[in-house]
Amino acid sequence: MQATLSFLGSGTSMGVPTLGCGCAVCADAHRPGSPNRRTRPSILLAYNKHNVLIDTGQDFHAQAVREGIQHLDAVLYTHGHADHVLGMDDLRPLTFGHRGELPLYADDATADVIERVFEYTFRKVDRYPTSARVTMHRLPSEAGVTLHLFGARFVRVPVAHGRDTIAGYRFGAAAYLTDMSDIPEGSLPLLRDLDILILDALRREPHPSHSHLENSIELVNKIAPKRAYFTHISHDLDHEATNATLPANIRLAHDGLQLNFDIAPEQN
């Protein structure tokens, strides 16, 4: 079953341009249409007439306007950091037209953050009347936990994000591993035979909780997908200049980039 993956955002938590920064990449990012303009990280999967979103950062509203998102069928969360959850409230108008409540899927740690930040939405009594009509579904955090959505399987791929372990997801022939400093050995068998691998590659220098360019290239070589895309990118990496130095099967993602792949290969 064919799916289209859209990068709603490819930037790090601070976004690019980064506020207060006058570097060349940030300067270029002010130019409309610049691939260096990077909003907070999120992807949309469209398949089988359904839309599944991964994460809702602070830029979700602008991303949904840009991509013309008219409806959503499910939202999966990777972890509870601001750049992945703070746009949850912007789901509201999309949930009002949804049949039943819009399902959110998250592990306990992430669900706890979302339910605390948006307490008025999840309150059992006196729920704020126009809050988002969403239901939180808590997912176990073990490797390989599988969620079936609209004919595709979403498999939890645990990744190290500094000292935390958070959710990466594999769906058919693609995997999305944002906010990742390392991939535990136990997750590697879940990443065999990939068409598309999406990895965090923050910058050139090592960082305690994000993979850097060289480390991410090594991981691509180890996992050996057909093609790889890097995301969660800071202003350290100029789009064109960095792509020119990367192997042909690895590219930096950019906001608005769309990729087609097979989301249910076992059904073919």
Q: Which residue number, 80 or 172, has a Cβ lying nearer to Zn ion?
A: 80
Q: Which residue number, 209 or 249, has a Cβ lying nearer to Zn ion?
A: 209
Name the minimum Å distance from CB 186 to Zn ion: 21
Name the minimum Å distance from CB 6 to Zn ion: 18
d(CA 5, CA 47): 9
User: Which residue stretch of 59-67, 100-108, 119-127, 179-187 sits at the interface with Zn ion (rule: CB under 5 A)?
Assistant: 179-187
Q: Which residue number, 230 or 261, has a Cβ lying nearer to Zn ion?
A: 230
**Identified binder of Zn ion from the candidate list 5, 26, 201, 217, rule CB under 5 A:** 26
Q: Considering the rule CB under 5 A, would residue 23 count as an interface residue with Zn ion?
A: yes
Name the minimum Å distance from CB 202 to Zn ion: 9
DSSP the chain: -EEEEEEEE-B-TT-BSPTT---HHHHHHTSTT-TT-B-S-EEEEEETTEEEEE---TTHHHHHHHHT----SEEE-S---HHHHTTGGGGHHHHHTSSSPEEEEEEHHHHHHHHHHTHHHH-SSS--TTS--EEEEEEP-STT-EEEETTEEEEEEEEEETTEEEEEEEETTEEEE-S-SB--GGGGGGGTT-SEEEEE---SS--SSS--HHHHHHHHHHH--SEEEEESB-TTS-HHHHHHHS-TTEEE--TT-EEEEES-GGG-
Q: Considering the rule CB under 5 A, would residue 59 count as an interface residue with Zn ion?
A: no
Q: Considering the rule CB under 5 A, would residue 235 count as an interface residue with Zn ion?
A: yes
Q: Which residue number, 170 or 235, has a Cβ lying nearer to Zn ion?
A: 235
Q: Considering the rule CB under 5 A, would residue 236 count as an interface residue with Zn ion?
A: no
Q: Which residue number, 179 or 255, has a Cβ lying nearer to Zn ion?
A: 179
**Identified binder of Zn ion from the candidate list 1, 14, 21, 246, rule CB under 5 A:** 21
Q: Considering the rule CB under 5 A, would residue 37 count as an interface residue with Zn ion?
A: no
**Identified binder of Zn ion from the candidate list 73, 179, 238, 262, rule CB under 5 A:** 179
Residues that bind Zn ion (CB under 5 A): 13, 18, 21, 23, 26, 81, 83, 179, 235
